[in-house]
Every structure is written in C-alpha cells, then in structure tokens.
Amino acid sequence: MIKNTLLPVAEFCQRRRDFIAQMPENSIALISAGKEVTRSNDTEYPFCQHKHFYYLTGFNEPDAMLVLINTDKLNAAQSILFSREKDALQEIWHGRRVGQAKAIDDYQVDDCFSLAEIDQQLLPLMSGKSAVLICQPELAEFQQQVLDWLNKVRKAARSGIKAPNSLIDCSDILDEMRLHKSPAELDIMRQVNVISGAAHQRAMQATKTGKFEYQIEAELLHEFAIHGARYPAYGSIVAGGDNANILHYTDNDDTLNDGDLLLIDAGGELAGYAADITRTFPVNGQFSEPQALIYQLVLDSQNLAINAIKPLQTFAQLNHIVCDFLTQGLYDLGVLQGDITELLAKKACKKYFIHGLGHWLGLDVHDVGDYHSNQQREQLRPFAAGMVMTIEPGIYIPLSDHSVDEKWRGIGVRIEDNILVTTNGFENLTINAAKSIADIEQMMSQ
Ligand code: GLY
Ligand code: MN
Ligand code: MN
C-alpha cells in the first residue's frame, strides 16, 4: 500500500508492465506529473495529480516524470522516475517530499533520479530508441520539452547510435487500460459511491426553504471529507428552481424557495477515483403534482436504461430506448405536441433532454476510453464486464419556455447513478441515496 492510495503498490507495478508490453519494440515513453496551479499570489489550488501519471505510479507529487522503456536488453531498467529532491527548507515551508531513495522502495520503480539530473540521465536512455511515446497530447508545454530533448539527442547522435525518428501519441493504450477496472479499483469506486450517497442524504435532510444553495454545498463537502474523500471530484452543482436548467451551474449562491426543486450533482473523490451522482428533490420536502410527473418520467427512463445494461450492450442502444420513452412520456403529459410518429422519428425529447445519457467514470469524472462514436455521434462501443459508466437522463424546462403550460416551467430534473457492467448484467454502485418519490419524501420528513 502506498500513502494516499488505497491500492497496493503491486497493482501500479502490474499496470506499468502491461503498458510496456503494449509499447512498440525498443521505444521509450515519457509521462509527466501534474503541476501546481496558482490560486492567488503565492497560494495554490489543492494539488490534483495528472490521472495518467497517477494510474501508472500512485505518486502524488507535482514536478515529476515517469519514463517507461520497452527493451529486450537483459536487466535494463524499465521504469524510471524523476522527482523533486529532498530539501529541508522547502519541506519545512511546504511539506514533505518523498525523495529518490524512498521512491524506489515505496513505488518500486527500477530507478529514481532528481529533476536536476534529467538531461544527464534521460538523453542516453533516449538515444538508440526507435520511437518516443507520449500519452498527454493536451500538455503543450510538456510536448515542447520532449521535442527539445529529442533535438538534443539528434544533435548528439554519433555514427552508429541513432536518435528516435518518431514521436507517437500512445494515449489510446492508457485510455483503454483505464476503461477496464480491476477488482481493487471497483472496491474504491464502491466506497466513494457510498460516501457520496451519504452526502446526498445529508443534503436532503439539511435542505429548508430560505437556506442558501452554498449552505447545502457545505453539507456535501463535510460528509465527503469526514469519510476521507477530502475533495469533490468536480465542482458541486447545487441548483434550486430554474438554476437546474443551467447544466453546469456552480454559482450555488441563490436562496432556496418554497415550491421549487433542488438539483444536486455532486460526488467525492477517493484515492483519485470519482463518484458522479445527481439527485433532484423538493425544497419543502413534498413534490408538487407537475414536479412528480416529470420526476417519475425521468426515473422510469433511468431504470429502463440501467436494467438494459449488460455485456455487448451499447450507449447507442440505451440512448435509443431512453429517447423513445421520454418522447412518448412528454407527449402523454402534453409537454410535446404534434404527431407522435413524427415526434418519435425526430427524437423530439431532445428539446428537453439536452445532454448525453452517460459517460465512462473512473479516475476522471468524464473518464477516458473510446466510445466508438461514428459520424452520427452514435456510441457503438460494446460494453464489457469491468466498465463503469454513469446513467443520467434529465428533463429541463426553463422558466422562459412559453411553448409549454405554465405549470411545467422552471422544472429541471436529472437523476444520475454509477453503474458497473458485470458478466451477467450490471451492479448499481449508487446504493444509498434516496431516489423514489416515496423514499425522498420520507427522508426529508425526518
Ligand atoms: N457531473 C458532471 C456530469 O454529470 O457529467
Ligand atoms: Mn455525469
Ligand atoms: Mn453528474
């Protein structure tokens, strides 16, 4: 076990071996750690490690780089870490550093050098390799750094020693590995779901007319943190009334009004892994009739999708099922009007269900992994046991929508659970956040 992770070090070692086995012969991969980000003047945001780097190391310091080498040379180092040096003064001010000797022991890399030694150590490792691999194409500065190293190696190349002649983006290898969760990862994802579900329960019980959205946000953060999920996996959305119709609303500074719904989309992060849960409930504890009708429609559509999850199922098919169901339901309620055959054919629910049905979930809240989307943006990737996704249908009817009866306006509902594909079907990881109308009303009456 490594500090800050709930995974054994052997799992990180195995990931590195699996990755190296998929690298082209005689290639070298360079993977950068995250950087600290300034919040104001000389204070930083809480550090969040780059998730690819974290996945391969479990090492939680900024300013580090992992080097992985595919070589058939006997006894050659294959995993090499570069990290910050021990520094007594810096550590008194800013916190402990692992340093090189302890990194070799704790993270079981073959070697570890200080950042000051990069040129001296890295350039000989790069020379003679056929290709340099990177897997963080979004890090422009790091890519430039890699090109600079590559140019240095090219300049220094002596006869007989070749410089790598290609720079390859290999992010698809890591994306694919991260899409398939191990039993140990799934244990963490179950835990962070339980913590986050408890936070939603706490939020429901704390909600009262006249409170501010940020006061409910504080309840969520408290519940995450006291259970070890120190930070939310993303900015919590606590959206009363019409604010729920702003999909990424994070102002969280309005008052909660009697008769409105409150939509909360929030999840904690535990050992790097995210939960992503949404619940919608009435501020005063009782759904009005129009709110209950829309809520039940969304809930039924979610159950329809979840119950259809199994290996070989696709997001495309689930979307199809949910779209038909919501279109028919909105037509039956009179929210959508016209010819039902035409409405179904043009997926008319999309006027009110304005985002995708779900996404992969893991170390990133919108996790990596190919959806095999075609030009029609259909997601045809067959599900397999070990994949985790969200299922999050929603209906959003803004106050400003004068095409519908007044009673529907200002209703925004999303319900989101985290689902694991199993060999026989699915496991819903979101087990403790009240979801049926009866359970929510009961929970809020306590
Ligand atoms: N919380 C972001 C999402 O549901 O996708
Ligand atoms: Mn989501
Ligand atoms: Mn969400």
Q: Mark whether 172 and 186 lie in a shared domain.
A: no
Which residue from 302, 389, 416, 419 has its CB within 8 A of the most atoms of ligand 1, so it is best to mutate? Answer: 416
Does 388 map to a domain?
yes
- Tens of pLDDT, residues 345-367: 999 999 999 999 999 999 999 99
Tell me whether residue 169 is one of the annotated catalytic residues. no
More confidently predicted of 395 and 155:
395
Query: Closest residue (by CA) to atom 2 of ligand 1?
Result: 276
In this structure, are 214 and 163 located in the same domain?
no
Which pLDDT belongs to residue 2?
81
User: Phi and psi dihedrals of 371, rounded to 5?
Assistant: -100, -5
Q: Please check the confidence at residue 206 and state whether its pLDDT lies above 90.
A: yes
The domain boundary residue, chosen from 178, 213, 237: 178
Domain that holds residue 149: 9-178
Same domain? 132 vs 184: no
Amino acid at 345: A
**The CATH number of the domain where 48 resides is what?**
3.40.350.10
Structure tokens at 93: 């001010």
Reported as a pLDDT band with limits 50, 70 and 90, residue 284 is very high
Q: Are residues 283 and 338 in the same domain?
A: yes
**Residue 92: inside a domain:** yes
Q: Assess if residue 23 is contained within a domain.
A: yes
What letter does residue 360 receive in the DSSP assignment? Answer: B
Distance 390 CA to ligand 3 centre (A): 8
The distance of Cα 336 from the centroid of its chain, to the nearest Å, equals 34
285 and 166 belong to one structural domain = no
> What count of Cα atoms within 13 Å lies in the side-chain half-sphere of residue 356?
14
- Calculate the CA 145 to chain-centre distance: 27
Claim to verify: residue 142 and residue 224 sit in the same structural domain: no
pTM of the model: 0.97
Same domain, 18 and 89: yes
Number of domains in the chain: 2
- Whether residues 142 and 199 share a domain: the answer is no
Q: What is the pLDDT of residues 102-127, one digit of tens each?
A: 999 999 999 999 999 999 999 999 99
Task: Compute the distance from residue 15 Cα to the ligand 1 centre, in Å.
Answer: 27
Confidence of residue 446 (pLDDT cuts 50, 70, 90): confident
Q: Across residues 17-45, what is the average pLDDT?
A: 97
Instruction: Give the list of residues 6+ apart from residue 345 with CB closer than 8 angstroms, or none.
Output: none
Span from the CA of 235 to the centroid of ligand 3 (angstroms) = 10
Q: Are residues 13 and 158 in the same domain?
A: yes
Q: Which atom of ligand 1 is nearest to the CA of 392?
A: 4
H or E segment and range at residue 298: helix 289-307
pLDDT band at residue 406 using 50, 70 and 90 as cut-offs: very high
In a domain, 239, yes or no: yes
Contact assessment for residue 360 and residue 51, using Cβ atoms and an 8 Å cutoff: no
- Out of 133, 158, 178, pick the residue that ends a domain: 178
Mean residue pLDDT of the chain comes to 96
Q: Are residues 145 and 155 in the same domain?
A: yes
Count the Cβ atoms, other than its own, within 10 Å of residue 22: 13
Concerning whether 227 is annotated as a catalytic residue, the answer is no
CB within 6 Å of ligand 1 — which residues? 234, 265, 276, 365, 392, 416
User: Which ligand 1 atom minimizes the distance to the CA of 265?
Assistant: 1
The CATH number of the domain where 227 resides is what?
Answer: 3.90.230.10
Q: Quick check: is 117 in a domain?
A: yes
Pairing of strands 79-83, 111-114: parallel
User: What per-residue confidence (pLDDT) applies to 3?
Assistant: 79
Residues 133 and 63 in one domain: yes
pLDDT of 229 above 70 = yes
Residue 386 lies in a domain: yes
* pLDDT score of 258: 98
The whole-number pLDDT of residue 159 equals 65
Residue 3 within a domain: no
| Domain termination residue (choose one: 125, 157, 178) | 178
Active site residue 427: no
Q: Do 331 and 194 belong together in one domain?
A: yes
Better-scored residue on pLDDT, 156 or 319 = 319
* DSSP code string of 253-295: -SBP-TT-EEEEEE-EEETTEE--EEEEEETTSS--HHHHHHH
In-domain check, residue 1:
no
DSSP 224-258: HHHTT--EESS--EEEEGGGGGSTT-----SBP-T
